[in-house]
Amino acid sequence: AYTVVLGMGYSWQTALTAVFVEGLVFIVLSVTNVREAIFNAIPMNLKSAVSVGIGLFIAFIGLQNAKIVIGGSTLLQLFSVENYNLVNGVEATFNDVGITVLLAIIGVIITAILVIKDIKGNI
């Protein structure tokens, strides 16, 4: 919605119409079994690669939101107070932003332990 309406300048009515038409096309493809034929034509290796890529992308967004990975020229700088201040143009201390990183790392470690011990509801 943001990309189509704000970025491309279309009205919200046009954006919703596009979503509606896309839904109709998907229904037609599903009813005529074309969707299943397309799905079966994709090799299993490619299906696995797409799944892994989506998972890594979601993990990367999580690392950015937890401030473990901070923006920079490549978006791949690990957290440090100096880099955080440089990228964001602020004067933050470890107590301001470092605690977020610390809590995120502790949460990932706890989750990993629960997954390794195969505890029900681990993630």
Pick 42 or 84 by higher pLDDT: 42
Among 5-19, 38-52, 92-106, name the one with the lowest average pLDDT: 92-106
pLDDT band at 100, cuts 50/70/90? confident
Regarding pTM above 0.85, the answer is no
pLDDT digits (tens, 9 = 90+) for 28-55: 998 998 888 988 999 999 999 999 999 9
pLDDT over threshold 80, residue 27 = yes
C-beta atoms surrounding 69 within 10 Å:
19
pLDDT at 53: 95
Q: Which residues contact 75 (CB under 8 A, 6 or more apart)?
A: 64, 69
Percentage of the chain beyond pLDDT 70 is 92
pLDDT band at 84, cuts 50/70/90? confident
